[in-house]
């Protein structure tokens, strides 16, 4: 929770700097952000590949739970396709790209800004931050009415860090491994899906 507040604080201070022109330097005109993004993607990949504990914990999983990330992605895309009917002035692929952020708001908003401009990037940031907050707030209700896998699906990529403690509290500690596995598959899928829907 604290981590996401710090991230939002940086974004908010950036907005203030932009609104009141505190920084006499046009970032958008430079390629620096693109290269910084590449460093970020490489680092995200590195941290996935580097953690050998994670590979080991995969093997102790119930094989049927392996399908959960696929369900999360299919459910998210289906839900977003329906949601796009209520946003007639945005193309369906844009809505699917935003949904493909899977609560990984930092990476998805940066990627979408790169591909489709800062306006859709902002939608992605808000939508995916909101998804994480909803997971934190609704986890107990989701478990009660829709089973122990529901908060993990709703949590998307955040199940590997911010929402994991809440989920393991309400779904049970044995689901922490599922959270990690799910979060890794999401981390890997977000750049892939966002790129796909931005370029179609």
Q: For the chain, give the number of residues.
A: 200
Size of the site for another protein (CB under 8 A): 101
**Which of 111, 157, 166, 179 is close enough to bind another protein by CB under 8 A?**
111
Given the complex with another protein, which of 77 and 177 has the nearer CB atom? 77
Instruction: State the Cα–Cα distance between residues 15 and 22, nearest whole angstrom.
Output: 10
**Which of 108, 116, 139, 142 is close enough to bind another protein by CB under 8 A?**
142
Given the complex with another protein, which of 107 and 164 has the nearer CB atom? 107
DSSP 8-39: HHHHHHHHHHHHTT-S-S-GGG-THHHHHHHH
Given the complex with another protein, which of 127 and 180 has the nearer CB atom? 127
Residue 184 C-beta: closest distance to another protein, Å: 10
Residues 6+ apart with CB under 8 A from 119: none
Terminal CA-CA length for the chain = 34
User: With binding defined as CB under 8 A, does residue 139 bind another protein?
Assistant: no
**Which of 2, 5, 19, 60 is close enough to bind another protein by CB under 8 A?**
19
User: With binding defined as CB under 8 A, does residue 200 bind another protein?
Assistant: no
Helix, strand, coil in percent for the chain, rounding step 5? 80, 0, 20
**Which of 2, 16, 24, 31 is close enough to bind another protein by CB under 8 A?**
16
Residue 166 C-beta: closest distance to another protein, Å: 13
User: With binding defined as CB under 8 A, does residue 49 bind another protein?
Assistant: yes
**How far lies 98's CA from each of 35, 48, 71, 94, 154, in Å?**
22, 23, 18, 6, 15
Phi-psi region of 112 (alpha: psi -120 to 50; beta: other; left: phi over 0): alpha
Q: Based on the number of CB atoms within 10 Å of its own CB, is 18 exposed (0-12), middle (13-18) or buried (19 or more)?
A: exposed
User: With binding defined as CB under 8 A, does residue 177 bind another protein?
Assistant: no
Binding pattern to another protein, positions 23-42, x when CB under 8 A? x---xx----x--xxxxxxx
User: With binding defined as CB under 8 A, does residue 74 bind another protein?
Assistant: yes
**Chain residues 114-133 in contact with another protein, contact rule CB under 8 A:** 115, 118-119, 121-128, 130-131
């Amino acid at each position: 929770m604290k981590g996401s507040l710090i991230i939002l604080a940086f974004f908010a201070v950036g907005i203030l700097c932009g609104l009141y022109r505190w920084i006499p330097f046009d970032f958008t005109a430079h390629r620096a952000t693109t290269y910084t993004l590449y460093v970020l993607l490489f680092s995200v990949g590195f941290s996935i590949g580097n953690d050998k504990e994670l590979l080991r914990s995969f093997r102790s999983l119930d094989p049927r739970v392996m399908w959960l990330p696929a369900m999360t992605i299919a459910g998210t895309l289906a839900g977003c396709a329906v949601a796009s009917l209520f946003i007639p002035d945005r193309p369906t692929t844009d809505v699917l790209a935003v949904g493909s952020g899977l609560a990984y708001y930092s990476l998805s908003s940066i990627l979408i800004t790169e591909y489709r401009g800062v306006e859709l990037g902002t939608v992605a940031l808000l939508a995916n931050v909101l998804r994480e907050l909803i997971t934190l707030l609704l986890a107990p209700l989701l478990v009660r009415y829709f089973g122990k896998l529901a908060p993990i699906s709703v949590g998307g990529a955040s199940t590997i860090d911010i929402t994991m403690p809440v989920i393991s509290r309400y779904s049970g500690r044995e689901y922490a491994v599922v959270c990690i596995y799910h979060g890794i598959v999401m981390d890997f899928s977000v750049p892939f899906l966002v790129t796909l829907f931005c370029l179609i």
